[in-house]
Structure 1
Amino acid sequence: MTTKKFKKVLIANRGEIAIRVIRSCKELGIETVAIHSTADEDSLHVKMADESVCVGPAKSKDSYLNVPQILSAAEITGADAIHPGYGFLAENDEFAAMCEKWGVTFIGPSVSCIQAMGDKIESKVTAKKAKVPTLEPILVQDTDEAFIKKEVEKMGFPVLIKSSAGGGGRGMKRIENFEELWPALIRLHEEAKAAFGDGTLFIEKYITNPRHIEVQILADKHGNVIHLGERDCTIQRRFQKVLEEAPSPVLSQKVREEICDSAVRLAKFVNYDSAGTVEFLYDLDTEKFYFMEMNTRIQVEHPVTEGRTGVDLISEMIRHAQGEVSRFKQSDITFRNHVMEFRINAEDPKTGMPSPGHITHYHRPGGIGVRTDDYIYTGYTVPPHYDSMISKIIVQADNRANCITRAKRVLNETVVSGIKTNIDLHKEILNDPDFVESKFSTNYLAKKLV
């Protein structure tokens, strides 16, 4: 495969991830194009890019999901590559194929990789073939109620209904008994069809005491695959991650090696060729882990891994998309420090309801071991049309206890006035003995916020 250095990259996204990509492009000597909706005209990513193009009105479907407009923006600006960030079109195989058709490089995995791992049901079948532990799903198709009940009875409650096309915690529901089951299937089918254009559902056993562990992998287009360790993403609210850390404080070294090796084995099995994340459930009671899904894109929490390894994942994605051979072998990756990432959302910390609006004052935290990825500033108005995350604060120290201590200082320094945020929720978590002692599972916040 020939290597071709990109001259100009269009970022098909917004907010902090768009800024993150712009920064890596600048360090690689690549010009950037920001796209934006009418609501994001004053957003920081627009100001930081070399060029910007408005691709439509505020609603995502008319702008950040408007494929013809985005490809037209690439054409008129002369962009030879597109980085999709996360969310929006990042895991859309049709968009990746369209980029290819238009002669624009999609900075991400191949279309075949996205297709192979994008479907949550088929990816489980693939993982099983790759000899990666999985939870056997019950596929819900045009099957009668009696058959579903029979299969669920074998599995045993509680179970989890999932949308095959869902993500970010959407299209999921825990079910405790048969009375809840069928009405929930009907409702979730309609919701998934409306939200994702695909109403396919499946049911799997709900692990009652799990940790959510994911492994960052990095692969080039020459068959080289490595892992960059695991992240513990167990602190969640309504299946949406809130706080991530690495290394996981509950994994033994033996399990850590097994889970990372499994991620690499799966990536090699599907000929993966970019940055990606393999997600697992780790059962605290049995000390066994099970494949959940693979995210064929960069993750929100990628800075946790960058802090642990010193590897710029966005830059490596770009290099690999250019056809370069990976600069790293597995033996080159060394791990240091304990790292935590705090997602700062514009929301009511008690209800979780979004809190968009005008920011009257913003003070970004600093000091040793602190990184802030954001897109807000004093005087900026957070629009109501998009995800509520406005900032990510990444803290690292030489061990977990010191990381918690430093994080408390950092969160106390952070000021976002004019809107509500979940900063106080993070403070409560850091002061909770169960969190400090790492005695929690994915239902931690559900219990704490009752």
Structure 2
Amino acid sequence: MSICIGNGAMRHQILSGAVLSSGIGCVVDGVFLEDQTGIYMLKQITLKNKKLEGVTLDLLCKVLTSLLIPIQSKEFEQVQTVEGFVDGLMEYIDNYSICDYIIALLKLDVFHQNSRSIQWFCEQSFITKLLNVFLETPVSIDRIESVARIINEIVIWRHSHQIGAAANVFVDFFNTDKSLDQFVTLVFSSEMKEIREFGLMVISDMLTCNTSRSDLCTIPVGGLPAIFKNLVSHFENMQLLLQTKNEGFVGQTKIRLGFIVLSLLLSNYSVIYTLVDEHGFLDSLLDIFYDTTHQCTIFRQIVYNIIDTVVQRPIGEMKYRLLKDNALLERMIDVDVEALKIHEKTNFYPDYFLINSMMMYNIYKNKEINTPKFSAKLDNQKFTSYVEDIIVARTEATSVHFGKKHSPDNYFDTNTYTNFLLNSQKRGDDDDLF
């Protein structure tokens, strides 16, 4: 153990680390045979007078992560007895190996479903410590990136239903955290783009975990989950960020804002739909979508998903306006016509051509709306005729190529080979085969 944490030659350190992280049953049993052995390694992370770094820190994290997985492991039980352990982890959170180890500890709810590791971390003010990384001075980009990565991993686990119930504990603690309001305010007020981008990533992830499970929830803003309530007060700032000039590229900030708007439209909260419509987020996103000074297909795909969400879900106000917005519908036609002209000249289509065409097709296929508040249908004859005459035929056309039977160059046909042999025998040239 002593050699592994740096008290010896480098080659001995690497060899001892390889043995301890092998996952062999007798090694794992040996480590946890006496409680002090495992605790000795865990305490190295909490020491204030000895800063671990480089190979030593990487090896220690590799060993500790490997020892977590076997069913006979007692490591997490020992983690809970080490005073200041979470604070020790936070000191090294900018290190990728420590970040991996934290994720492995949190993911114990997958391997050992009764470990309650996420709940234990939350009870140690883990979420407050994560959010406070954004509030530190000076700011460390590596540290805030690690925080965003950890939260993203938990959200992915929640949506994959591997640890749905355990991850919900994290969501509940997040919504009641005392630093949440200050964190959201900082994200929209900071001049540092890394804080803004990684902060928006965290907000977007947490929005997806707080959607209503009913078809359409009509509670007021005050009854929304805390992440929604805090974000609503910054909608004006969101609009300002969306309206900043692109300068030839979209950038991560607008991509993250696009994901946030998509999460808002998937929330199933009626009051959120109304506020998104009032602040004109859809118009701002479409302006960026049709800006030809950039070629950000990722952003255009997000906008396509947003439009598809509006036309296929009960988002009454926005769908009503989408069907009645002649300026947008005719803009779509103009963009498609211009793309066809570009193809005639250059023999290739611009990157927005197919996505714009699919948006037109989806609006046409969902051209009616019937809600208690709205009842309307698409009545722009120019748009309808253009889609029916050109877009539908183009979208629904099937290629004859995939209906044909194709044989590769090295395809071996037994019937052909048999006929070849028979014909050779008839000609009496069997010897030519050998």
In the superposition, the TM-score normalised over structure 1's length comes to 0.21
Instruction: Give the structure with the higher percent strand.
Output: 1
Pick the structure with more helix per residue. 2
Larger of the two Rg values belongs to structure: 2
